Chain A
Amino acid sequence: EAQVTQNPRYLITVTGKKLTVTCSQNMNHEYMSWYRQDPGLGLRQIYYSMNVEVTDKGDVPEGYKVSRKEKRNFPLILESPSPNQTSLYFCASSPFGGDYGYTFGSGTRLTVV
């Protein structure tokens, strides 16, 4: 089944403790991206990648890192999480971005205390 898989689905952590949210797609898509969703603010892009080893900032990149060493994986790294990063996170992929539709993962609910 074609899908975007995120792990974990739920995570509670403490301020400052580094964490990684994994994202993997099995559709050989070139483009991958991370979004966060917050009440009243909607979905906002954190980072995106147009290809392996090519990443760029979205609208809200502060406090996040990403890497794209392989086409299928695009992990989101929070090196020193803070409570304002408590949110629902989504990974998405698309064949090339732009002209094609996007497939989203099931989401990761992160709580930073």
Chain B
Amino acid sequence: RKEVEQDPGPFNVPEGATVAFNCTYSNSASQSFFWYRQDCRKEPKLLMSVYSSGNEDGRFTAQLNRASQYISLLIRDSKLSDSATYLCVPKGSARQLTFGSGTQLTVLP
């Protein structure tokens, strides 16, 4: 089993839609969780950190289910500018970040 698994998509949704991505992880010792967004041919940029059961920042909500070892990202009222690849990063005691392969989102006008 991969350390981090994400549905690669692509998810194509209309503007204003709500979309959710799931990410499963294998390391039960993971303590911190991050969602990064990466625009085409650009660097990953931190979108959200999750240290407890979840986090909310405007239109973005992350929820953590430790028992089932998955974390989700919900985007409400999608904007064209939300089009990107979303990378899930669970972090345990290791110093490096272990990235999933990402979920590609395209928001259509």
Is B truly associated with A?
no
What residues make up the interface of B, taking CB atoms closer than 8 Å to A? none
